[in-house]
Structures are given as C-alpha cells and as structure tokens.
Amino acid sequence: EYCEKLTNITIPLNETRVIDGNKIFNNQPHFNQSIYLPSSIKIINGKEIATQINDQSMQLLHNHLGSRNPKLIIFYFGYNASSEIYIKYKCKSACKFNIDVEVIHQLDLSEQDMINLIKQANANQTVDGIMVQLPINIPNINVQKVLDTIDINKDVDGLTSLNLGQVWTRSDYLLASCTALACMQVFKTINYDFKVKQVCIIGSTIVLGKPLAGMLNQLHATISLLNASTPNLTTYTKFADVIVSAT
C-alpha cells in the first residue's frame, strides 16, 4: 500500500558546494556556480558511492535469498510528521530491492503491547528484518526496552543494546546503524587514516553519533562526542581533523 502511494514522489538531488573548507551551501540558483576550491578540498560524490552500495546489496540479496523476497516489518507507534516521510522513503527504497514491507502503525499502545507485537515478529520465520520507527511519541514508554525486544539477528537498524555495544568492542559486529555505516563507507572510499586524528561528532543519538563513535574508536581515532548540553562547541571543533554533524 505504501509503495503504491509513492509513485509521484520526487527526491531532490541537491549538490553540495564547499567554500574555503568551512561553509557548506546547497546549490541554489543565487549562488555563483564558479567557486574556487583550494587544492586541499576534495568533493566526495555521495551519489556515486550510494549507487555502488545499492548494486552490491542487490547482488547480496539475490545470492542469499534466491527468488524469495525478503520481508521487513516497520513498527510505527504514535505519530510524528517526520516519521511519516521517513517511512515512505524507506518503503520506496525497499520496493527497488524487491523487499516486502509491512508497516504496523498504532497511534496509542502500551509498552507491553509493543513488546508483544515485536515478539510475534521475532517468532515469524517469514520476517527477515524489524525496525521500530523513532521517535515513539507515546508517553511513559521505555524506548530502549522496546528496542531491546527485537531479535538481534533481525535488528536491521542496529539499535538493540547488544548490537550498539558490539560496534565498540568487535570489528566484526553483526548489525549496525545504516547512517553510521554510510559515513564509514565514505571514509573508506577516500582511504582516510584515523590514527592520531581528532574526530568531533556533534550529536550523540543511538542512530548516528554513538555507533559512529564506536566504529571510529576501533580505528584508533580520538573522539569527542558532543550533545545539546555541551558548552562552547568551538572548543572542540577548532582542533578537530574531522567534524561529523549528526544533528
């Protein structure tokens, strides 16, 4: 149903312009397109990297599952306008890979009922992956407890406590945040060496900041993980070799 509603969605592909290595602008018509870029600046083609990953993923899915379509369940509890958009994009991407998606949306549900629904999906042998869309905009819910109900082998977002912990302790972690993995893939593409480098990550969510910090820690980077309560951000950013905005 979600896939059928998405045929007319257009995703803007705005280029990124880097000026003097410090200011980033969207490629809007009122900006001068002839911008001088110092030789030390390298433009990374994210679209090209994404295409390579998509091609590899398609082949892996075919090799692993053969003719069977994998199935993903997205649990969406409460209501959030941004979540509506994210879920539609996830469904649209899944359609490209012949992934069957079932979105289970409950506006109001108790924590125990959420846990029971997830346990049913864990036990369903036809379900390959499970996501819980964040945030859960229902009061009095222990979000991490709900996430930890997901079978770690079906935790495609890598948000269970065990999978989050593994990115800090194991180089062969099972599943991890796709956003953090995307950042790592970009770094891998440009062969960036993190040894003795200072990395500043702005934003400490479990979706990007924390798992990315764990991955970079294993590459011997020195990491500052900042959050909304961190005073004087420039104290950290001005000495950083790499800055990741995870806000």
CA distance readout (Å), 215 to 53, 90, 159, 175, 219: 19, 24, 14, 12, 7
| Residue where the block lists tokens 């390959």 | 128
List, for residues 69-82, the tens digit of each pLDDT value: 899 999 999 999 99
**3-state class of 202 per DSSP?**
strand
| Residue where the block lists tokens 């004087």 | 232
Kindly give the confidence (pLDDT) of every residue in the chain, 247 residues in length, as a single tens digit, with 9 standing for 90 and above.
444 443 333 333 333 333 333 333 344 444 444 455 556 677 788 889 888 888 888 888 878 777 788 999 999 999 999 999 999 999 999 998 889 999 999 999 999 999 999 999 999 999 999 999 999 999 999 999 999 999 999 999 999 999 999 999 988 888 999 999 999 999 998 899 999 999 999 999 999 999 999 999 999 999 999 998 999 999 999 999 999 997 7
**Residue 207 to residue 201: CA distance in whole angstroms:** 13
Helix, strand, coil percentages in the chain from 3-state DSSP, rounded to 5: 35, 15, 45
**3-state class of 205 per DSSP?**
coil
List, for residues 82-139, the tens digit of each pLDDT value: 999 999 999 999 998 889 999 999 999 999 999 999 999 999 999 999 999 999 999 9
Q: In the chain, count of helices (H) and strands (E)? A: 8, 8
Both tokens of 81, joined, read 């306008």
**Cβ contact 224:241 at 8 Å:** no
**Cβ contact 186:49 at 8 Å:** yes
Q: Report, in angstroms and rounded to the nearest whole number, the Rg of the chain calculated over CA atoms.
A: 20
DSSP code at position 226: E
**Residue 112 to residue 146: CA distance in whole angstroms:** 8
Tally the residues of the chain: 247
Entry pTM:
0.78
